[in-house]
Amino acid sequence: DAKTTQPTSMDCAEGRAANLPCNHSTISGNEYVYWYRQIHSQGPQYIIHGLKNNETNEMASLIITEDRKSSTLILPHATLRDTAVYYCIVTGTYKYIFGTGTRLKVLA
Amino acid sequence: DGGITQSPKYLFRKEGQNVTLSCEQNLNHDAMYWYRQDPGQGLRLIYYSQIVNDFQKGDIAEGYSVSREKKESFPLTVTSAQKNPTAFYLCASSIYGRSANYGYTFGSGTRLTVV
């Protein structure tokens, strides 16, 4: 599975868009990009995933670059409840490898 | 509502005792997983199972054992051989298939403290 690189932490003002980057320069053709988030002392929650195209759902948007070597998770209007650790995972199988993620803090 | 249930939420055990963590899902998912999380760290895979009566070791299987007698259940036993068992344990499930186009559903976790 491809390795991912994410910033350790980020801050975002409440109501603004939160843009969380992820580098996955060694991604291969059949590997998907997944995003999960983990609020303190809870199980991770699925947010969104994609292969090549940009994706949007009720929680977030996922922008994948054309060469697929990086992606950005966008939370369009961050709220205090979005404060969490966000994990970017790249996988071609059902088996995940988690890094340490990005700790997003939404500020009032 | 379909989901994945882990119990108990908090568990305390004396050093040297085996302890079993429960994980049950009613999502009809084929695959189930156990992860361990230490403070400030990401999740590390202990064991996973793709189908009933079959399971594979993950990256940190030493000192742990599992069984998969039913599709819905995947209990994890932390044995006395596990050197540092105090951690947050997470169970997950997913549809199993050749494609990775399936997300995980996680339980709410069990925090095990060994004293």
pLDDT score at B8? 92
Cβ-Cβ contacts under 8 Å, B106 against chain A: 43-45
Cβ-Cβ contacts under 8 Å, B107 against chain A: 43
Residues B100, A32: C-beta atoms closer than 8 Å: yes
What is the C-alpha to C-alpha distance for residues A25 and A50, in angstroms, rounded to an integer? 16
Higher pLDDT pick, B100 / B31: B31
Residues A43, B106: C-beta atoms closer than 8 Å: yes
* Residues of chain A scoring pLDDT < 50: none
pLDDT score at A3? 87
Cα separations in angstroms, A99 against A35, A87, B40, B41, B103: 12, 7, 11, 8, 17
Q: Residues B19-73: pLDDT tens digits?
A: 999 999 999 999 999 999 998 888 999 999 999 999 999 999 999 999 999 999 9
pLDDT score at A99? 87
